[in-house]
Homo-oligomer: A and B are copies of this chain.
Amino acid sequence: MNDEISFITSGSVTAPEGFLAGATSAGIKKSHILDLAILCAESPCSTAGLFTTNRIKAAPVVLSQHRILTGLMNAVVINSGCANACVGEDGITDAYDMARLAAFKLGVSEETVLVASTGVIGKRMPMNLIKDGIDHIKVSREGGRDLSRAIMTTDTVPKEAAVQVTTGENQYIIGGVAKGSGMIHPNLATFLCFLTTDARVNAGFLSHAIKKAVKLSFNMISIDTDTSTNDTLIIMANGIAKNANNIQGNKREADIFQTALNRLCIHLAKKIARDGEGASRLIEVNVIGASRFSDARKVARTIVSSPLVKTAIYGKDANWGRIMAAAGRSGIELVESKIDLYIGDVCLVKGGHPETFNEKRLKDIMEEGELEVNLNLNLGKSKATAWGCDLSPKYVEINSKYTT
C-alpha cells in the first residue's frame, strides 16, 4: 500500500479523533459575532507551541509559554476583540482567570489549559463577559468551524484545513485553524494557529516537527512587517487514532508526519497571506540558486515585504526594478550580473540584463489572482519560497480606523 497524504474536504481542527471545539458571542466585540472559543481534547495531549519573538508579550503568551513546558495539555481558551497586552499585572491575573474558568467548565486541571488572545492592545479583558461566555460555550466534534470564525479579527474568511495520512503502520489526521490578517510578519513564531492530531507522537517530537514546518510556512509569510505581541501556535496530539503506532523513533513514519505537517502549515499560511488586510491577490516569491537557505529566505522575505513591490502589484504595474532593488537591500551577498528574474513564466532579466518580453503575456499574468515572482541568483543550490499580498488603499483604510 502506498503512503497517502490528502486534504480532507471541509477539514478543520476537530477533524482528528477526540478533539472538540465550540464558540460563542461573548460581547467582547461590539458587533455580536463569535469572539470566544474553546478547543479541547477528550484525553490529555502531547502539546508543543511557538510564541511571538516580540519583547512585549501579551499576558496569555506569558501564561501559555510557561505552562506548555510540561508538554501535556487538555484545552486552549481563545478570544478575539481584546489582545490582553500592555495592561500590566492585571492582564496576567485575567489570563490565569480565563484558564481557571475554562478548566472548571471542562472539569480538567487548570494547569493543563492554555490561553490565546487577539485584538486591540492596551485594553483590560472584560472578565464578566468572559465568565458568562465560557458558561455558554458548548463543545462538539463539529465545533472547528465556529472556532475558526471566533478567532478572526480583520480576516475576511476563516482559515481551516485538515490532512489525512495513511501509511502501512499509521492512519491519522492533522487538522488546524489559523487567523491573520494584520500585524503579520512572523519570526520564529506566528499569529494564532491551533493544530491537532490523533497521531501518536510525544511533545518533544511535536516541538521539533512544528519548528521545521513553521520555518517553511508561517515564517515565510509577511503582510505588513509588523510582528504581533500575541503570536501563538499550539499543536496538540492525543494518540488515539484507530491505527496509531509511535511515530517518533521510526524515521520513515516521522518523515511522512513532517511532510503532512509541512503541507498543512503551508496551506494555512497561504490562506493567511491571500487574506492579508485589504489584499486583492496572493504573491508567491520563489528564490533559487542561493548559496544557502538563509540567503534564499532573506531575499524572498524582503521582496514579498517591500511596500513598493506590493503597491506595484496592486496596480498591476510590472515595475520589476523594485524587485531587483528589494533583492539588493536584503543584506545578502549577490552578484547583479548573475540574476535571472521572471514574473510567472516571463523572463524580465537574464544575467542582470533587461530582456525584451511579451508585453501582452505579462499583462495577462499581472491580472491573475496569484502572482509568481521567480528569481534565480545563480550562486548555489539553495532555495526558499515566501508568500505575501499586495498593498492596497484598503489596507490603509482598515488600519486607520481600527480603534476609533
Contact = CB atoms under 8 A, between A and B. Distances in A.
Contacts of A317: 400-404
A396 B396 contact: yes
Interface in A317-362: 317-322, 324-330, 332-334, 336-337, 349, 351-354
A103 to B, nearest CB: 27
Interface in A213-255: 224-229
A325 B230 CA distance: 10
A153 interface: no
B399 A393 contact: no
Given A183-B325, A229-B324, A311 B54 contact: no
Q: Which of A328, A333, A392 has the most CB of B within 10 A?
A: A328
Interface in A89-118: none
A320 B349 CA distance: 43
A289 interface: no
A316 B401 CA distance: 8
A317 B314 CA distance: 25
Given A86-B352, A88-B337, A353-B87, A311 B395 contact: yes
A312 B393 CA distance: 14
A399 B330 CA distance: 20
A321 B122 contact: yes
Contacts of A353: 87-88
- State the number of copies, please: 2
Contact of A329 (B87, B226, B333, B334): B226
A112 B336 CA distance: 27
A325 B55 CA distance: 8
A183 B226 contact: no
Contacts of A315: 399-402, 404
A268 interface: no
Contact of A308 (B182, B354, B392): B182
Interface residues of A, number: 66
Given A183-B308, A227-B329, A354 B403 contact: no
Contacts of A330: 55
A203 to B, nearest CB: 28
A381 to B, nearest CB: 20
A395 to B, nearest CB: 7
Nearest to A325: B229
Given A55-B333, A56-B324, 16 more contacts: A56-B327, A57-B328, A88-B351, A121-B320, A122-B324, A182-B308, A225-B225, A226-B308, A307-B399, A311-B399, A312-B399, A315-B402, A317-B402, A317-B403, A393-B393, A393-B397
Interface of A: 53-57, 83, 85-88, 120-122, 182-183, 224-229, 305-308, 311-312, 314-322, 324-330, 332-334, 336-337, 349, 351-354, 391-393, 395-404
